[in-house]
Every structure is written in structure tokens, then in C-alpha cells.
Amino acid sequence: MALYAKERAVAIQAVLQASKVCQSVFQHLVANETLTKNDKSPVTVADFSAQAIVNTYLTQSFPEDPIVGEEDSKDLRGDVGKILREKVFSLTNGVLDAQEKLTEDQILAAIDRGNYAGGAKGRHWALDPIDVCLALIVDGVVQLGVMGTPNLPVNAAEPEGPRGSLFVAVRGQGAFQRGFHETSESPIHFADIDDTKKATFCESVEAGHSSHGDAAAIANLLGITRPSIRMDSQAKYCSISRGDADIYLRLPTSKSYEEKIWDHASGNVLVTEAGGKVTDVQGKPLDFSVGRTLAKNKGVIAANANIFDQVLAAVQKVLAAKEQ
């Protein structure tokens, strides 16, 4: 049996079920059912439901493994959280089989299993529930990543075609994609380019996530003229890994902000296994061993390995000019 075969299978099952939650919410919920956290990131019913589902599957199969999850249950508790709690209860159980149904208390407990502080020793999982990104980290190194993309077209060449794919990578075993309703996997790889002039950026729609002005200056240095692909989710890692685009930059928007490990862990191994490279803006590997954030890193650069050095040099030149 291949290394991490059981973990891979359980993670796929968990992410697939959580992705069904997100698809349902995207189709049915409206804007006034959205909470706002202190950090201004949107939190929906899907966030809580997806975390409850994934954490439940992980705990059933790997009860000793702690979990670093994005959410906690405080906004769901007491009279203040009653309406939201009922929505989470309904949505969560709506995708689970009859024998898997959870009580409200079980859902709250499952969400709060994501409170692990992270660290350099042993195994733990990292979960971004709304983007459905799940990673297994062992002794500070990401070994497995599974990502669910409910809204990403299965085939980028058919933007109006079927949507919903799983992206899976185990370190040393390659990167793969399969549709939500399929069982067979197809290997994926970065596009075969060796010239930055042929490259395409994959960027956030929301400028608060990464500096669009800096990205434009970097594109100019690299001779990139093709329009960027824009999306506000960690599906950007999936998009570049299968060759839709070639470069994903998460450029610092403030000196104090620390990237969260759940946003980048699964994408890190996916990109690496698909023929790409990931570092911070200083060229240092992302360090997942220091807790719930990438405290030792600033920004993220993910790109085709063939052009990575040129991309890194352009990023550093633009950022250095801002410091002068």
C-alpha cells in the first residue's frame, strides 16, 4: 500500500462531503445570512458545516491527530447563535447519510476540534473549510493535500461546462484531478512554458488579498501581457497546477499580516507535485512548523518551476523599489 493511502482516502471522502455543503450554500443562501469576523473575512454557514463534517471524518479515522481549523463555535452558541446554529445543523445533516447524522452538540464539538496550535513535531491536519482545503502536516512538512473546488470548471477550456473537482497530491506521488461525480483520477502538471512572456497570472479579485499594483509592475518586468485569471479562493493553486495559468502571487499588503497555514498547506504540496515551486517573497520555503500562521514568511510566490527564478527576481525588484 502506498504511503499515506488511508489518509488520502479519508481526506478525499471528507473534502467531497464538505464540498457538497459549499455547493448547496452557493446555490441557496443570500448575503444577509453571512457573518463577518473581526478580521473582516466572510464566514458563512458553509464554513461551520464544512469544518464540522471534515473534522468528524478525520476524528473517526485518526482520533489521535489534532486539527488546525479556521473556525470555532463561539458564534453558534447560546441564544444569540440559535438561528445560525439551526442553519448549520440543517445544512450539515443534509449531506450526511442517515447513519452519519450529528446532533447540535456533536457539530459544535467537531468544529472546536480545530483549535490545535500547530507546531513542528508529530502529525496534524490543517483545514480551510470554505475553500475546502485539507492538508496533513508531519513534523512540519506538508505530506498530503486535498482540495475541493465546487465552482471551478472541470475543464478550463469549457468555462460554461460542468463544475466541481477534487485535486489531490501526496508528496513524491504526483498531482491529480477528478470530477466530483467521477472515481478515476487524471494526472495534472504545469503548462510547458519556459518564457515568462508566455505566462499568465492567477490573481485574487479582491485587492485586499494581494497588491494588484505590485502585480502589474511585476508583470511589466516579466513581459507578461496576457490578461490575468481572477478568483477569490485557494482554487488558484489548482488552476496553476493544471496549467490554466502559470503564476500565483500573494504579495504582502501590510507588514504585520501573517498568512494562515490552512490557506497554503494543501496548495503547497499540490504545486510542488505538479511541477511548480513555492516560496515566500524572499525565496524561503514556506515554514509550516511554527504554529497556525506562516510567521517566518512574508507573502507567497507559486509558479512554474521553469520560470520561477525570473518571477522571484521580478518580485524582489518591485518590492525593493517600494522600500526606497
Rounded to two decimals, the pTM is 0.92
Q: How confident is the model at residue 253 (pLDDT cuts 50, 70, 90)?
A: confident
All three cell numbers of 124: 496534524
pLDDT digits (tens, 9 = 90+) for 119-131: 999 999 999 998 9
Q: Please, are residues 193 and 199 in contact by the beta-carbon 8 Å criterion?
A: yes
Residue 203's pLDDT is 86
Residue 205's pLDDT is 74
d(CA 239, CA 237): 6
Could you tell me where the beta strands, DSSP code E, fall in 236-287?
247-250, 276-279
Block residue for cell numbers 476524528? 59
Distance of CA 287 to CAs 272, 277, 278, 305, Å? 15, 14, 11, 19
Residues near 248 by beta carbon (within 8 Å), at least 6 away in sequence: 201, 202, 203, 236, 237, 239, 240, 300, 301, 302, 303
Q: How confident is the model at residue 28 (pLDDT cuts 50, 70, 90)?
A: low
pLDDT higher for 286 or 45? 286
Residue 27's pLDDT is 65
Instruction: Sketch the domain layout of the chain as residue ranges.
Output: 5-187, 196-323
pLDDT digits (tens, 9 = 90+) for 258-277: 999 999 999 999 999 999 99
The answer on pLDDT for 210 being more than 90 is no
Q: What is the mean pLDDT of residues 86-107?
A: 93
All three cell numbers of 190: 504545469
Q: Which residues sit in the known binding site for Mg(2+)?
A: 70, 128, 130-131, 263
For the chain, the average pLDDT equals 91
Q: What is the CA radius of gyration of the chain?
A: 19
What is the number of residues in the chain? 324
Q: How confident is the model at residue 31 (pLDDT cuts 50, 70, 90)?
A: very low
The answer on pLDDT for 236 being more than 50 is yes
- pLDDT more than 70, % of the chain: 92
Q: H or E element: which one contains 302?
A: strand 300-304
Residue 264's pLDDT is 97
The answer on pLDDT for 217 being more than 70 is yes
The answer on pLDDT for 93 being more than 70 is yes
- pLDDT more than 90, % of the chain: 76
What architecture is the 196-323 domain classified under in CATH?
3-Layer(aba) Sandwich (3.40)
C-alpha torsion 172→173→175→181, nearest 10: -150
> Yes or no: is domain 5-187 CATH 3.30.540.10?
yes
- The β-bridge relationship of strands 123-128 and 67-69 is parallel
